[in-house]
Amino acid sequence: MTRHLKVDERAHRDRLEEMVQGVIGEPLDRPEGQLKVSGRAPYAMDDLPEGCCHGVLVRSTIAKGALAGLDIDQVVALPGIRAVVTDKRLTKNPAQGMAGKAPAQGPEDIIYFGQPVALVVADTFEQARHGAQILGRRFEAESDVALNPDDPNAEIETPKKKQSSMGDLDKAIREAHFAIDETYTTPGHASAAMEPHASVASWDGDKLTLHGSYQMLHFNRAELADALNIDEEKVRIVATYVGGGFGSKLGIAPEGVAAAIASKQLGVPVAVAMTRQNVFEMVLRRSETEQHIRLAADEEGRLTGIGHEALVSNVPGEKFSEPVTQATPFLYRGENRVIGHRIARIHRTPAGSVRAPGEAVGLTALEIALDELAVASGLDPVELRLRNIPDKDPSQDIPFSSHTLAEALMTGADRFGWKTREPKPRSMREGEWLIGLGMASAARVNMLIESKARVTLARNGSALVETDMTDIGTGTYAVLTQVAAEMLGLPVSRVQTRLGDTDLPPASGSGGSFGASSNGTAVFLACEEIRRQLCERLECDPDELTLKDGHAVVGNRRIPIDEVMGGKDIVAEGHVEPGDAEDKVRQATYGSYFAEVAVNAVTGESRVRRMLGVFAAGRILNAKTARSQCIGGMTFGIGMALTEELIHDRRDGHIVNRDFAEYHLPVNADVPQIEVVLLEERDPWANPLQAKGIGELGICGAAAAVVNAIYNATGVRIRHLPATLDKVLSGLEDEDQS
């Protein structure tokens, strides 16, 4: 039996609140945790099948042009080499979550440096790598190729659907008591997941099985079928454990397509694993941004106008573009508005979703601009934000489903000791170190994605949850186990969760912070159907049934659940999909950041000394995994603020810092003890769980709190991230001379 729900209205009843098992929200350990820390959890390249060959991708050394030839003979003569696979499907850039919508590039159409053009397959990885390194490649490069957004010959698109305006912003700026008109830039970023991309393909007749590292299997299955031009029903993808994704594994990547093609051609399993350098060069990057922000405020600091116009980049033909202004339309008040979005079509590695696409970079710039407005108006930065929280979504004239920004700001200020802050820069010093405090708001759109899950209540009183949902390190195994345990009144030890296999019911996948709430709702609905069937067996009304500790309680009867089962399993499927609710109310999550930063007055080095994040995301399903997600997001915020920056060679577009030695992620020494506060909230419009996404909320604006603290410490305003010591030191010199 299937229980289906289309979310059109607010939930009029909090069913989880009525359950009594007491596991929802608790900081329970991950069920798979011991497997992971002991090295027994099988990832994509573990447990290779017998007779498996290895493939290494051969890549383009030009940014645009055609492949003129490959010196295949010299490579296939080497020991262990099975084949040099060439196929037009290798150079087709797979879609990001949009099967059938990838640009169909021809076999000789090169559009970025590093694009795969062939695959060398051998008995061992070392043999394949050697063959790929010496394979002669000849290209016909085009001249006058746009490699950088500021190139004069770069085509600039202005999509109509991504432009909007209200009122007269220019007039608001002219008449404003306080105004900000500045440009901010953020560099490109890499997802930098711990597990590099890897796939192992094998065929059984015309049916393909791919063991890979992917986030959204239901969509990935369709994408892979599309890339190979085969029926979707003939594709199975397995990703039981995924070592991080951060957006890089939302769509099928080149190694998955190549492994499948080679395996079919050779008739043996083929494994293709990217090196770290390969991942940087061939997997989607976050676009760099240039953001023009204008703010107009009256004499009391209330916003009368907001302008947020962004320039991003991508290769020609790609549909995705970084949604920089995603939160700006609803976050603050202001009756005069301009939202602008432009796309520079350039020949770099394709751009895609990376760690909270949109708000991660958009709120960073907006919250730095708000700090500048606070300085200009003489208002405390917290008070400025409190004065500008709107009563309803200003851009759509619809109510908020819930709104917790004010509580997050006030709670954070109180917990952090914000009142001790000295507003005047350079007011606090410890020897060579200038000390400053900074803050920023957090916000992230909330989404629900169609999702299905199957739950079996077995005759022995245990339960099994099955869905192709993935766990990319976010805690999916734990959360879905908790939902089922709570609804069915079982100890978590009696609930097993199976994930990551397209043979299971299709789920939302892990991305956009919608996984736990979407797929958790599907599990919830399946459990509701099981409860209904239990009521039929017990001949009671649903409100009369209590399930706890493996027993059914009805009236004065307390019956072991296995006795109620009568020797038969109950199998139910839950199916949820978005409805009209998302159009009736504005759904979002909110939070705040507070940071203390020390800046060395001699070297310009910046150190985050402490950081606090306060977040509200509806019902928290697992306090431990939610807290971990927020810590991770804030850590990424520190990296965005201080160290992370993709650098492209302006001559040919290749990525210069293509590994962890040169792309500087924050490490333990860069990250202080981070405090996370999770606010109590329910959002009846979101879903029956009343839970919302939290995975990406922790990064949205975090970098701004650090950059604003640098200003408070030094008087140096960093508008072009990251705030590396050369920029800070140059600003310190200017401050000293002024």
| Active-site residue list | 696
Residue 498 backbone dihedrals phi, psi, to 5 degrees: -110, 130
How many CA atoms does the CB half-sphere of 177 hold within 13 Å? 11
42-61 exposure pattern, b = at least 16 Cβ within 10 A, e = fewer: ebbbeeeeeebbbbbbbbbe
Rounded Cα–Cα distance for residues 24 and 678 (Å)? 15
| Burial of residue 35 (number of CB atoms within 10 Å: 0-12, 13-18, 19+) | middle
Residue 2 backbone dihedrals phi, psi, to 5 degrees: -115, 135
DSSP letter at 307 equals: E
Coil, strand or helix at 710: helix
Number of helices and strands (H, E) in the chain? 19, 28
Question: What DSSP line would sit under 399-452, residue for residue?
Answer: -BS---HHHHHHHHHHHHTGGG--SSTT-EEETTEEEEEEEEEEEEE-----EE
Identify the bridge partners of residue 622 per DSSP, sorted by sequence position. Answer: 25
E strand or H helix at 591: strand 588-600
Token code pair at residue 379: 């208002």
Q: How far is CA 513 from CA 580, 588, 631, in A?
A: 20, 11, 15
Amino acid residing at 713: A
Inter-residue contact 506 to 484 (CB < 8 Å):
no
Going across the sheet that includes 557-560, the strands are 545-548, 551-554, 557-560
Question: What DSSP line would sit under 463-518, residue for residue?
Answer: EEEE-S---SSS-HHHHHHHHHHHHHT--GGGEEEE-SBTTSPP---S-TT-HHHH
Q: Which of 516, 691, 680, 688 is nearest to 15 (CA)?
A: 688
Determine how β-strand 495-498 pairs with β-strand 463-466. Answer: parallel
